[in-house]
């Protein structure tokens, strides 16, 4: 898939994390990638995150999945919306929707959430803390955008939904199949189905908060810190006032923390593993029988393409001496020479035909990724 007549540089300069942008059908030929019945079937699965939001006359109702099959057989009186997370992990055609947006680094991409709504259905006025591209797949939806929100923006009282108490639209559009609306973080917006069989694909981007990073980084770091590494003051002078924590003590205490968290190499390795940890580890591509490097070489010699598990996350950071630290599904692999070239190539494309004359290090890397379920061979089925 490719976006036509779309200026990436101008978009990043003028709109990314700044202001909304409507992109009228930029596809050569738009085809809705998943049918409503397929989405409904996925929502019935116990390991799939799904929700149904219904707009009652006086309140909003939230139901969490898995959704009973009989739920969709009922004719509802009030408008409702089905939301299913990580649909790209289950349908290759939905995963392909991510490819045109890879001008944003992969580590920032979260997943593709798909919504299905009947006439008048929606999730109410709200704001997100992340960027989102809203691709209209089927039917029509009215989108309204409003003001920039913050932590003090009033919300409606609801245990499971963060809906705006007051919303005033500043712009609105009706999106047809293939149209895209980009909404930056914290911009108020509301989507409402215009007619039945309305499907929208929400391509969301990860934006870790400072609190999340500090908490997760500290949780990872603390177990490796020895209990004997403690504050000391061997040249202590008599205190003028025993109640004071003086400036020298504060500086030494803060330095104990700063010296630990400023280890860039350790932080990079931790973040790579943290960021690529599987969102849905239950989607398991591990083969029934593991392969060794020799068997991997035979498949590559036959020209069999390698595929990334669509539920897997890949990323890399550059190390010293041209080495690459590859991260896949929360694991780290130090790669050099040809293995480093392969690591960068597989991060950049969902499918790869590897060279038949791979180095032993590359074959061992591919075998490790294959046996972990991060990679698979394309059987052509």
pLDDT tens for each residue of 113-171: 999 999 999 999 999 999 999 999 999 999 999 999 999 999 999 889 999 999 999 99
> Phi-psi bin for 380: left (phi > 0), alpha (psi -120 to 50), beta?
left
pLDDT > 70 in the chain, percent: 99
Which of 160, 178, 205 lies at the terminal end of a domain, its last residue? 205
Q: Are residues 127 and 256 in the same domain?
A: no
CB burial of residue 226 (10 Å; 0-12, 13-18, 19+): exposed
Q: Are residues 332 and 252 in the same domain?
A: no
Q: Are residues 47 and 196 in the same domain?
A: yes
Q: Are 163 and 128 within 8 A, CB to CB?
A: no
Q: Are residues 187 and 218 in the same domain?
A: no
pLDDT of residue 119: 96
Please state, in angstroms and rounded to a whole number, the distance separating the CA atoms of residues 181 and 119: 20
pTM above 0.75, yes or no: yes
Please state, in angstroms and rounded to a whole number, the distance separating the CA atoms of residues 353 and 378: 10
pLDDT of residue 76: 76
Q: Are residues 236 and 320 in the same domain?
A: no
Write the pLDDT tens digit of every residue in 188-200: 999 999 999 999 9
pLDDT of residue 175: 98
Secondary structure element (H or E) that encloses residue 55, with its range: strand 50-55
Tell me the angle at which helices 293-301 and 360-371 cross, rounded to the nearest 10 degrees: 100
In the beta sheet, which residues pair with residue 307?
351, 376
Residue 2 forms part of a structural domain: no
pLDDT of residue 380: 65
Task: Answer yes or no: is pLDDT of 352 > 90.
Answer: no
Which of 205, 223, 238 lies at the terminal end of a domain, its last residue? 205
User: pLDDT band at residue 7, thresholds of 50, 70 and 90?
Assistant: very high
pLDDT (average), residues 285-296: 92
pLDDT of residue 57: 84
pLDDT of residue 225: 92
Which of 205, 233, 253 lies at the terminal end of a domain, its last residue? 205
Q: Are residues 307 and 194 in the same domain?
A: no
pLDDT (average), residues 338-348: 92
Average pLDDT, the chain: 93
Write the pLDDT tens digit of every residue in 255-288: 999 988 888 899 999 999 999 999 888 778 899 8
Q: Are residues 232 and 362 in the same domain?
A: no
Window from 18-22, 210-214, 249-253, 297-301 with minimum mean pLDDT: 297-301
Half-sphere exposure of 37 (CA within 13 A, CB side): 0
Domain carrying residue 320: 293-377
DSSP codes, 193-218: ESSSSEEEEEEEE----HHHHHHHHH
pLDDT of residue 303: 87
Q: Are residues 229 and 325 in the same domain?
A: no
Secondary structure element (H or E) that encloses residue 219, with its range: helix 210-221
Q: What is the CATH number of the domain that holds 334?
A: 3.40.366.30
pLDDT (average), residues 343-371: 88
Q: Are residues 200 and 226 in the same domain?
A: no
Residue 266 forms part of a structural domain: no
Q: Are residues 223 and 194 in the same domain?
A: no
pLDDT > 90 in the chain, percent: 81
Q: What is the CATH number of the domain that holds 121?
A: 2.60.120.650
Q: Are residues 196 and 227 in the same domain?
A: no
Window from 30-39, 92-101, 150-159, 275-284 with minimum mean pLDDT: 275-284
Residue 306 forms part of a structural domain: yes
Furthest-apart CA atoms within the chain: distance in Å: 80
CB burial of residue 46 (10 Å; 0-12, 13-18, 19+): exposed
Cis previous bond, 354, omega within 30? no
Residue 275 forms part of a structural domain: no
Residue 288 forms part of a structural domain: no
The domain tally of the chain equals: 3
Residue 280 forms part of a structural domain: no
Residue 39 forms part of a structural domain: yes
> Quick one: DSSP state of residue 215?
H
Task: Answer yes or no: is pLDDT of 110 > 80.
Answer: yes
Strands 180-183 and 21-23: antiparallel
Task: Answer yes or no: is pLDDT of 47 > 80.
Answer: yes
Task: Answer yes or no: is pLDDT of 381 > 80.
Answer: no
Please state, in angstroms and rounded to a whole number, the distance separating the CA atoms of residues 86 and 238: 62
Q: Are residues 69 and 119 in the same domain?
A: yes
Write the pLDDT tens digit of every residue in 325-341: 999 999 999 999 999 99
Residue 276 forms part of a structural domain: no
């Amino acid at each position: 898939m490719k976006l036509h007549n779309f200026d990436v540089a101008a978009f990043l300069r003028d709109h990314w994390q700044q202001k909304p942008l409507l992109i009228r059908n930029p596809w050569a030929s738009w085809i809705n990638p998943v049918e409503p019945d397929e989405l409904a079937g996925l929502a019935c699965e116990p390991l799939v995150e799904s929700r149904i939001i219904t707009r009652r006359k006086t309140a909003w109702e939230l139901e969490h999945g898995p959704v009973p099959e009989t739920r969709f057989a009922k004719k509802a009186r009030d408008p409702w919306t089905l939301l299913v997370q990580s649909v790209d992990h289950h349908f290759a055609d939905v995963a392909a929707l991510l490819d045109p947006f890879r001008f944003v680094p992969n580590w920032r991409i979260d997943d593709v959430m798909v919504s299905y709504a009947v006439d008048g259905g929606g999730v109410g006025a709200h704001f997100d803390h992340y960027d989102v591209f809203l691709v209209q797949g089927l039917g029509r939806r009215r989108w309204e955008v409003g003001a920039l929100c913050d932590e003090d923006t009033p919300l409606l009282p609801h245990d499971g939904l963060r809906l705006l108490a007051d919303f005033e639209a500043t712009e609105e559009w009706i999106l047809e199949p293939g149209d895209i609306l980009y909404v930056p973080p914290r911009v108020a917006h509301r989507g409402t189905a215009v007619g039945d069989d309305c499907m929208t694909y929400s391509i969301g981007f990860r934006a870790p908060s400072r609190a999340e990073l500090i908490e997760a980084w500290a949780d990872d770091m603390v177990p490796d810190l020895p209990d004997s590494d403690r504050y000391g003051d061997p040249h202590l002078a008599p205190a003028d006032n025993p109640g004071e924590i003086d400036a020298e003590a504060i500086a030494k205490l803060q330095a104990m923390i700063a010296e630990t968290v400023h280890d860039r190499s350790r932080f990079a390795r931790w973040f790579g593993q943290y960021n690529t940890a599987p969102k849905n580890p239950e989607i398991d591509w591990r083969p029934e029988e593991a392969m060794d490097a020799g068997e991997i070489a035979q498949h590559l010699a036959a020209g069999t393409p390698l595929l990334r598990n669509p539920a897997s996350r890949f990323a890399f950071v550059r190390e010293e001496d041209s080495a690459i630290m590859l991260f896949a599904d929360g694991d780290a692999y130090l790669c050099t020479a040809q293995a480093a070239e392969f690591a960068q190539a597989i991060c950049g494309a969902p499918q790869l035909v590897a060279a038949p004359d791979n180095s032993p290090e590359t074959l061992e890397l591919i075998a490790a990724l294959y046996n972990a379920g991060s990679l698979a061979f394309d059987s052509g089925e």
